Structure 1
């Protein structure tokens, strides 16, 4: 467990072997990595622990330099653990390069069935017992991390001193179809708000879409930029500054060349960085499975449900409709980081034996202090679903706000964490 320093903090690496399948504790083991962060002045103090559950799924924990935002606030009183959830970061990564080690597509899909919130929480419990000597800890769950925290409350509440959730209260029983039927109208609202803020982007987006409809562009990394792929840049609109980022991306799209107008190298480079799943393929592979419960498959839900909303067809007259946090079969055709995994993704979409993730009876009897920031028109997590779940968890206190978008814990930093801590401590 080597330790090292950054200004104001001491960092310690933790590596742990955990069962791939927690139902078979003596079976195959995989690695889980976590980075401990503590303020230098308190490095030797017996502080309580706070574990950060990253959003996603499929993203490793944030790599911080110094103590920005919520982390600086947390370090005033906690020893913080930044967990790379299984399959991400330094925790036995699951990618197009590593998954072939499992065997064929079926073997890969069976393997990835163990990478949902239930397994992540069981990993957390093994890590907790190793690091805290059995003492409960506080979890801070952002987005999908909040889904994990909700499962934690269902499955192992004895491990929790408190649960803090930001933009991540899931529906307890909604199928993926219900999630996306609620999502597409929100995405449309965010797109309309973007065009109201930047009306010049209506013409810019239409020009790009028309250009791609005539001749899709292959980006430098081999990603084939189609109209649908371009529309998916709307995922930016769920963040506090996402509309501004999208605007500045669109304004530099074209350059003049001897052959006529072309999408600029700078535009292509930035779009490639925004759209490629090379750094986080697990997100695309298991995204819909986080809603899988029971015998009903997800069956490429976002793709099927989109067909119910013809207004998302970019070929229609009017402003180009952007889309958001949805995964489609075409991702596994256009993105070179995902192409080798298409059959694996199909098998996961067809799977019909997902364990249920939430226990309504146990949540109704909850005794763990819980507070959740619910963003008023969150593009990624449906507000109505979140509030219904909040009412189902005994003692949960909500902070409903339109001050932030989905990334409030990053954008609002200390204020968001301060408010949630005050709520679980009955100080607000």
Structure 2
């Protein structure tokens, strides 16, 4: 462990760096290189003797928060009772952040050469890339966290707070290493222990419902959405990153429909997408401002796109051997409102914005994803992955669990979360429609305060 310490807004901050195996199932060396994991530990004045709380960020692919003042919002609430550890999960932030070049470097190192180059006369294959990427799921993150915990807290278990995908990691933690946990808090993140098709059918239903709720508030925006999509089908418009914007990718702005903090902001984006005809030579064109804002919304971290479906592959022993097989794309083909080939101007059929639904075409269109398109296809057909959730272990868990389950959650379906809560021995849920998926952040410290009280009760 390598540590740098400083004071920020009266809090002591330790920045820790750890060397961990790429694959925790194998010893480091040869074909199993070490990667670096980063964690930022924050301690309020007088809080040196407090227990640790580790934060698992949503995603996959999201780095831990970088707030201006740790004393604000939910982190400020957590600091009252804990030393807070903001873990950059492997592949994110400062923890060997993954992009196409980093994946290729790890492939070459995994071939066993001292520096990779001498052992790699042939470039990485998509199968090799997929094998490396498969080591960035929940189970390996849990093993990283256990190594970090032992370095920071010794034999003392810690509390883990997980937002969204972070709750998936927590459920894996309860399955694989419950001895490391003093308590678990999940916000919008109790995963369904179900096949990916079941999960995605429900997330499509919730996404359609959020579209209807949005258009009930801003009915004129339906025409704008349809006209922009039709325009993109027939006219070349380019994002600031250089690639053509497709109608399907434009629809990804619907991710904001599932967030308390972004629901209304979507209307501001759609209120004026066009350049005035006099300025654009009489032709209808999208403004550079609109294209810049859309580009910021639909461009994503490579790990988020690549692992979006793979985190559901063979998730339990009962689901072993099941590939994801591009679930979002398969299901959308038969769902009114989500079909990729639908005519945006055909008012006889709904035309919905989409959410966390990644078709293959995105991996050709997004420059950050394109080099990993073949590897992602390999992952979509991969079957031999270890389970990340063990229901038999969860039923015997003695770790207290408190979870916020959001009634209208667009990303993690309510009924599947409640089924999982019923599987975890002693889990307590707070079911609410007061917040959307980002309730932890949107509420300041209110959601966390409620759950910590539930955990202690």
Secondary structure of 1:12 counterpart: strand
Distance 1:5 1:253 in 2: 45
TM-score normalized with structure 1 length: 0.96
Q: CA deviation at 1:117?
A: 0.4
Partner in structure 2 of residue 312 of structure 1: 338
Q: Deviations over 1:84-140 (max 9, x none)?
A: 100111111110232222222221111111110000001000000000012100000
The answer to whether the 8 Å contact 1:216/1:227 transfers is no
Query: Equivalent residues in 2 for 1:158-173 (5 A)?
Result: 158-172=179-193
Which residue of structure 2 lines up, in the alignment, with residue 322 of structure 1? 353
Work out the CA distance in 2 between the residues paired with 1:49 and 1:416. Answer: 19
**3-state secondary structure, aligned to 1:2:** strand
Contact 1:223 1:276 (8 Å CA) reproduced: no
Structure-1 residue corresponding to 2:101 = 97
Q: How much has 1:42 moved relative to structure 2?
A: 2.1
The Cα of 1:21 is off from its aligned counterpart by 0.9
Which whole-Å deviations, capped at 9, do the CAs of 1:142-176 have from their partners, x for residues lacking one?
0000000011111111101100000000112x121
In the alignment, what sits opposite 2:134?
113
Which 4+ runs in 1 deviate beyond 3 A? Answer: none
Q: Quick one: distance in 2 between partners of 1:129 and 1:171?
A: 30
Cα distance in 2 for partners of 1:281, 1:298 equals: 18
Matches within 5 A, 1:316-395: 317-318=346-347, 320-395=351-426
**Conserved 8 A contact 1:53-1:142:** yes
1:181 paired to 2:201: yes
Give matches, 1:406-421, under 5 Å.
406-421=437-452
Task: Give the aligned CA root-mean-square deviation in angstroms.
Answer: 1.2
Contact 1:222–1:335 under 8 Å retained in 2: no
CA distance in 2 between partners of 1:181 and 1:274 (Å):
24
Determine the structure 2 residue equivalent to 1:71: 75
User: Structure 1: any 5+ residue segments left out of the alignment?
Assistant: none
TM-score by length of 2: 0.90
| SS in structure 1 at match of 2:264 | helix
Work out the CA distance in 2 between the residues paired with 1:208 and 1:315. 12
Match of 1:3?
5
Query: Matches of residues 153-302 of structure 1 in structure 2 within 5 Å?
Result: 153-172=174-193, 174-256=194-276, 257-277=280-300, 280-293=301-314, 294-302=320-328
**What's the CA shift for 1:403?**
0.3
Q: Give the 5 Å matches for 1:392-403.
A: 392-403=423-434
* Residue 364 (structure 1) shift: 0.9
CA contact (8 A) 1:58 1:88 kept: yes
User: Greater shift after overlay, 238-247 or 263-272?
Assistant: 238-247
Mean CA deviation greater in 306-315 or 396-405: 306-315
Contact 1:49 1:79 in 2 (8 A): yes
Asked if the contact 1:70/1:417 (under 8 Å) is kept, the reply is: yes
Please identify, of 307-316 and 102-111, the stretch whose mean Cα deviation from structure 2 is larger. 307-316
Cα pair 1:376 1:401 within 8 Å, conserved? yes
Shift of 1:410: 0.2
Alpha-carbon deviation of 1:15? 0.3
**CA distance in 2 between partners of 1:376 and 1:352 (Å):** 32
CA distance in 2, matches of 1:46, 1:243: 41
State how many pairs are aligned: 421
Name the structure 2 match of 1:131. Answer: 152
Whether the aligned pair in 2 keeps the contact of 1:224 and 1:335 (CA below 8 Å) is no
Partner SS state of residue 359, structure 2: coil
CA distance in 2, matches of 1:134, 1:328: 44
CA distance, structure 2, for counterparts of residue 86 and residue 410 of structure 1: 22
Structure 2: state its 5+ residue gaps.
Answer: 108-123, 315-319
Cα distance in 2 for residues equivalent to 1:230 and 1:8: 44
